[in-house]
């Protein structure tokens, strides 16, 4: 688009900050609203085309230097039993001529990197601020902020996560996120690196880990949990310690010695949503978890948000109108994120049915092959 545009981005997490960076780089003047402090969480990994999205955002080297790279020839989701014996090797990471190494990074560090880059580019970020009302028309967006201010923009981007208030405002009849039947407990275990870095499983669930430069092992776990209920701190500790105690692999025994009742454990239910197309109305569009939240079984949720941001900016840059840009965005994104959401949910179902590892591996291979194509 030839004219200068303004945009409001609702949400200052991965989708929000990456979209602010991408849009600013194509000439859009952006402001970001973030209701809470986004610098929380454990770790996040970017692989496949999502690593290339970091390049398009201009932040790959910063993230690579701050995180843990994974070689192209490393396996995805190699599984070991409770004693540490290899059960199955996951598919190799897909490659292509300009493929970048996958990288894992401490999520607060990643947010800090993006926030600094966004601010350096001129993005205005309003922390502890949200909207109270949106007037969304074919000619623009007027927003009333929680600060009492009223502002107008050419378009708005809802990037406010799985519980998106923007989604409820834009599509009040849209379904609520669904619970998968599983939850994750994540732990940043202090101390030196433990080998071999892999996934381990017992009758109580599975967990994996990798080392981060901050001096922590990132340890995510997946546990069946039939009810969509939040665990208390004590319940979280008991479930996680029982999972570790159910495994005798030397690496897990080493990690178990680092776990204490006051260890910082993050328990979250796996919920998902895939909003029907289109994800926009008039001048407001949804991206990231607001439109397509997924379980973590493919490790692609954050990556899909990055791709959304890059593609949205490209469509804004290359289209004559905002409506044309939003339509082009949907054409490029819907089937791709549908693959990630549906595959992740099916992997969760297969785990809960105790399906053979080879069945899960085949499903992953097919999905990764589909996602190796450019976004």
DSSP assignment string, 300-352 = -HHHHHHHHHHHHHHHHHH-SSHHHHHHHHHHHHHHHHHHHHHHHHHHHHHHH
**208, 352: one domain:** no
- Whether the per-residue pLDDT at 74 is higher than 80: the answer is no
Higher pLDDT, 98 or 125: 125
**366, 298: one domain:** yes
Is residue 88, in this structure, part of any structural domain at all? no
- pLDDT tens digits, 249-294: 999 999 999 999 999 999 999 999 999 999 999 999 999 999 999 9
Of 250, 262, 252, the C-alpha closest to 221 is: 252
> CA-to-CA distance for 297 and 294, rounded, in angstroms?
8
**37, 123: one domain:** yes
Count other Cβ atoms within 10 Å, centred on residue 77. 20
Helix residue ranges per DSSP H, the chain: 14-25, 49-57, 60-66, 107-120, 165-170, 233-245, 250-256, 289-292, 301-318, 322-352, 357-371
**247, 318: one domain:** no
Instruction: Assign 326 a pLDDT band (cuts: 50, 70, 90).
Output: very high
Instruction: Find the CATH number of the domain harbouring 106.
Output: 3.50.50.60
pLDDT of amino acid 272: 98
- pLDDT tens digits, 124-138: 999 999 999 999 999
Query: How far is the first Cα of the chain from the last one, in angstroms, to the nearest whole number?
Result: 21
Average pLDDT, stretch 339-368? Answer: 93
Q: Which of 235, 270, 305 is the last residue of a domain?
A: 270
Of 70, 67, 69, the C-alpha closest to 109 is: 67
Contact assessment for residue 316 and residue 325, using Cβ atoms and an 8 Å cutoff: yes
Instruction: Assign 247 a pLDDT band (cuts: 50, 70, 90).
Output: very high
> CA-to-CA distance for 154 and 142, rounded, in angstroms?
9
pLDDT of amino acid 72: 67
**168, 191: one domain:** no
**Backbone φ, ψ for residue 119 (5° rounding):** -65, -40
Is residue 346, in this structure, part of any structural domain at all? yes
- Domain range holding 196? 180-270
pLDDT of amino acid 281: 97
Contact assessment for residue 230 and residue 267, using Cβ atoms and an 8 Å cutoff: yes
Is residue 82, in this structure, part of any structural domain at all? no
Domain count along the chain: 2
Average pLDDT, stretch 156-173? Answer: 97
**50, 21: one domain:** yes
Is residue 92, in this structure, part of any structural domain at all? no
pLDDT of amino acid 39: 65
**136, 63: one domain:** yes
pTM: 0.95
Strand partners, 188: 218
Contact assessment for residue 68 and residue 103, using Cβ atoms and an 8 Å cutoff: yes
**24, 157: one domain:** yes
pLDDT of amino acid 93: 66
Helix residue ranges per DSSP H, 159-299: 165-170, 233-245, 250-256, 289-292
Is residue 85, in this structure, part of any structural domain at all? no
Q: CA-CA-CA-CA torsion for 27, 135, 292, 115, nearest 10 degrees?
A: 40
Q: Which of 270, 303, 329 is the last residue of a domain?
A: 270
**Backbone φ, ψ for residue 346 (5° rounding):** -65, -40
Is residue 352, in this structure, part of any structural domain at all? yes
Contact assessment for residue 317 and residue 297, using Cβ atoms and an 8 Å cutoff: no
**257, 279: one domain:** no
Average pLDDT, stretch 171-197? Answer: 96
Q: Which of 270, 300, 331 is the last residue of a domain?
A: 270
> CA-to-CA distance for 139 and 312, rounded, in angstroms?
19
> CA-to-CA distance for 59 and 310, rounded, in angstroms?
12
pLDDT of amino acid 73: 62
Share of the chain above pLDDT 90, in %: 86
**192, 69: one domain:** no
Share of the chain above pLDDT 70, in %: 97
Is residue 84, in this structure, part of any structural domain at all? no
Mean pLDDT across the chain: 94
**226, 302: one domain:** no
Location of structure tokens 């970001």: 32
pLDDT of amino acid 3: 80
**153, 200: one domain:** no
Higher pLDDT, 294 or 227: 294
pLDDT of amino acid 15: 98
pLDDT of amino acid 95: 75
């Amino acid at each position: 688009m030839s004219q200068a545009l303004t945009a409001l981005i609702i949400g200052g997490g991965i989708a929000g900050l990456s979209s602010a960076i991408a849009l600013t780089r194509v000439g859009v003047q952006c402001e970001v609203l973030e209701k809470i402090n986004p610098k929380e969480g454990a770790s996040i990994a970017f692989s496949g085309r999502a690593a290339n999205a970091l390049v398009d955002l201009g932040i790959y080297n910063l993230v690579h230097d701050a995180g843990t790279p994974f070689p192209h020839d490393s396996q995805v989701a190699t599984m070991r039993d409770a004693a540490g014996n290899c059960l199955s090797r996951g598919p190799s990471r897909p490659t292509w001529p300009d493929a970048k190494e996958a990288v894992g990074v401490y999520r607060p560090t990643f947010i800090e990197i993006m926030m600094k880059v966004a601010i350096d580019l001129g993005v205005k970020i309003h922390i502890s601020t949200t909207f109270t009302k949106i007037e969304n028309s074919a000619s623009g967006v007027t927003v009333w902020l929680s600060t009492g201010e009223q502002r107008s923009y050419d378009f708005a981007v809802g990037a406010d996560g799985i519980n998106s208030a923007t989604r409820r405002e834009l599509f009040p009849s849209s379904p609520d996120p669904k619970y998968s039947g599983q939850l994750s407990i994540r732990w940043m275990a202090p101390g030196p690196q433990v080998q071999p870095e892999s996934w381990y499983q017992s009758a109580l669930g599975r967990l994996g880990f990798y080392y981060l430069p901050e001096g922590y092992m990132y340890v995510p776990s997946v546990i069946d949990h039939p009810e969509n209920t939040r665990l208390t701190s004590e319940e979280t500790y008991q479930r996680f310690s029982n999972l570790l105690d159910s495994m005798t692999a030397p690496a897990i025994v080493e990690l178990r010695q680092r776990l204490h009742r006051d260890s910082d454990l993050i328990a979250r239910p796996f919920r998902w949503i895939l909003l029907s197309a289109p994800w926009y109305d008039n001048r407001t569009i949804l991206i990231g978890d607001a439109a397509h939240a997924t379980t973590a079984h493919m490790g692609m949720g954050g990556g899909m948000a990055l791709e959304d941001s890059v593609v949205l900016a490209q469509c804004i840059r290359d289209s004559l109108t905002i409506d044309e840009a939003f339509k082009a965005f949907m054409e490029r994104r819907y089937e791709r994120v549908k693959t990630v959401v549906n595959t992740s949910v099916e992997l969760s179902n297969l785990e809960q049915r105790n399906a053979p590892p080879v069945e899960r591996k085949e499903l992953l291979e097919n999905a990764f092959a589909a996602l190796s194509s450019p976004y």
